[in-house]
Amino acid sequence: QSALTQPASVSGSPGQSITISCTGTSSDVGNYNLVSWYQHHPGKAPKLMIFEVSKRSSGVSNRFSGSKSGNTASLTISGLQADDEADYYCYSYAGSGTPVVFGGGTKLTVL
């Protein structure tokens, strides 16, 4: 399985909204509603933010939302805050073979 495709970087100013895309294929993102998103601050453990495409993990702010259309999933962060600056990874179930595939990661910079 090839990695899911994410933009290498995105940026936004405090208070703005940004969207990170995650493009897969009909074998992974397009075939299962099992996409999740992770926030990763350097030196810390990754944190599950969104699972099953659009469900927020416990304690995650409602500023974070997920969606999917066809083979592309998206993470939207509204009301950007300084602490949102981190790397974000998408993940999809991919069935048999190699059942898990990650995106390459997106570095979010809050200007």
Partner 1 sequence: QLQLQESGPGLVKPSETLSLTCFVSGGSIISTIYNWAWIRQPPGKGLEWIGSIYYSGKTYYNSSLKSRVTMSVDTSKNQFSLKLSSVTAADTAVYYCASQPLGALADWGQGTLVTVSS
Which parts of this chain interact with partner 1 (CB under 8 A)? 1, 3, 32-36, 38, 40, 44-48, 51-52, 57, 89, 91-93, 97-105
Shortest distance in whole angstroms from residue 5 CB to partner 1 = 12
How far is 20 from 68, CA to CA, in rounded Å?
11
Nearer to partner 1, 64 or 89 (CB): 89
Residues forming a β-bridge with 9: 107
Strand partners, 6: none
Please say which residue, 73 or 110, places its beta carbon nearer to partner 1. Answer: 73
27 to 21, 39, 68, 88: CA distances (angstroms): 17, 24, 14, 22
CB of 14 to partner 1, least distance (A): 26
9/15 with CB nearer partner 1: 9
Provide the CA 85 distance to its chain's centre, in angstroms: 13
* Minimum separation from the CB atom of position 15 to partner 1 (A): 28
